[in-house]
Amino acid sequence: MLYLKRLPASELKIDRGFIRELVHDTEDAAIVSAIIALGKALQLKIVAEGVETDDQKRFLAELGCDALQGYLLGRPVPSAAFHTRQS
């Protein structure tokens, strides 16, 4: 926690290991809730990675998570395909 206070960070990322069983594991849910509350109190942007289900997305949105990453939102693509989709 001391490192978190000293770091010049603007965002806090929640590892997918906590997200995977988020809806079914009360310990993971409690940890994620605490991380989001701490991040908000420190005025950090909260990013959750590994979001794969609508239930995970809904849970995180209700807690005020700022950004989501994961297969639910988009699969990885090669850079050439990414640039083609952007045009």
Give yes or no for a contact between 32 and 14, defined as CB atoms under 8 angstroms apart.
yes
Q: What is the pLDDT of residue 84?
A: 65
**Residue pair 70/16 in contact by the 8 Å Cβ criterion:** yes
**pTM of this structure:** 0.78
pLDDT, position 9: 82
User: Do 28 and 50 contact (CB within 8 A), yes or no?
Assistant: no
- Return mean pLDDT, the chain: 88
Which residues carry out catalysis? 49
Q: Where are the domains of the chain?
A: 10-86
